[in-house]
Amino acid sequence: MNDLREAPIGVFDSGIGGLTVAREIMRQIPEERIVYFGDTARVPYGSKSGKTIIRYSCQIARFLKTRGVKVIVVACNTASAYALEALQQEMDIPVIGVVRPGARVAARESIGGNIGVIGTAATVGSHIYQKYIQSLRPEAQVFEKACPLFVPLVEEGWRKDPVTRIVAERYLQEMKERKVDTLILGCTHYPLLRSMVADIMGPDVVLVNPAYETAMELKQLLRRENIENCGGSKIEENPYEFFVSDQAEKFRTFADSILPIDITTAKQVPIEEY
């Protein structure tokens, strides 16, 4: 049991977006160690088929298991929508996604039940947010909008570029017309555009960041399973490890800019071998 308590949390995403989830875990559960994998060779997942997303996700989960993780957090909405069930069946450790935590908060917090969801084409096409929100709040109106250009714009480092602002205004116009009172940032890349989205949508719209909600759900899970780290294992020099499938230096530079720690290395892994 002691070994399990001191084991790291596995976190993965199609690229850098899941770093927003890793960042929230660092903030909310600072005593936990993290092993992060970014599938930078195969990003974006949002344009891939469900079958491909499941294959990629299972490869990554197998790799994370070799690093001795005690829980896996699928820090990607698209992978959560398509692969979570397959991962939970294959893995002998808990696996949680980012969709349900965010959907629960939106269903609870929306005043008028007018909820918007922005995400990748695959996430929106799965209608997973709509299904889950309406299972909790049947009268809710859920409007979904695919924003496929957001991920490459964020990955390119254009978070505050005028081009990104123009794209965001065009994507969000429909949400404004539908007068949504709550908007779910349904891709882990999107919290990196939060201030821009908030400015466009206005102060009356509540933005839901599933990254924060997922970190809080993880905290409850660790406590419930009695596998939370009591702080004894972070005496080592580097409690956070980062792995990618490509472009390690580009990933490291970006991670350095958004995480509250210095990233010294990101190691490349031949993920197709898993």
Residue 95: what pLDDT? 98
CATH code for the domain defined by 2-97+212-273:
3.40.50.1860
Arithmetic mean of pLDDT, 213-237: 84
pLDDT band with cut points at 50, 70 and 90 for residue 205: very high
How do residues 19-55 score in pLDDT, each as one tens digit? 999 999 999 999 999 999 999 999 888 889 999 999 9
Q: Is the pLDDT of residue 154 over 60?
A: yes
Is 161 marked as binding a ligand? Answer: no
pLDDT at 264: 83
Average pLDDT of the residues in 68-77: 96
> Which of 82, 258, 116 has its CA nearest to residue 185?
116
Decide if 2-97+212-273 and 100-210 have a common fold. Answer: yes
Q: Is 231 annotated as a binding residue?
A: no
Q: Annotated catalytic residue: which of 58, 147, 187, 230?
A: 187
Give the mean pLDDT of 182-196: 94
Is a pLDDT exceeding 90 seen at residue 228?
Answer: yes
Mark whether 187 is an active-site residue. Answer: yes
Mean per-residue pLDDT of the chain: 92
Lookup result for tokens 């939106």: 106
Domain formed by 100-210, architecture: 3-Layer(aba) Sandwich (3.40)
Q: What is the mean pLDDT of residues 116-133?
A: 93
Taking the CA atoms of 73, 144, 85 and 227 in sequence, report the sign of the dihedral they define: positive
Cis peptide before 44, with omega less than 30 degrees from 0?
Answer: yes
77 is in an annotated binding site: yes
DSSP-assigned beta bridge partners for residue 37: 12, 243
3-state SS, residue 160: coil
Q: Is 82 annotated as a binding residue?
A: no
Domain spans of the chain?
2-97+212-273, 100-210
List pLDDT tens digits, range 229-272: 986 555 456 789 999 999 999 999 889 888 988 888 899 999 99
> pTM of this prediction?
0.89
pLDDT at res. 234: 53
Stretch 3-28: mean pLDDT: 93
Residue with tokens 């999107």: 190
Long-range contacts of 133-140, Cβ-Cβ distance < 8 Å, separation of 24 or more: 133/103, 133/106, 133/107, 136/103, 136/104, 136/107, 136/108, 137/107, 137/110, 137/113, 139/113, 140/107, 140/110, 140/113, 140/114, 140/115
Known catalytic residue at 230? no
**Residue 1's pLDDT is what?**
43
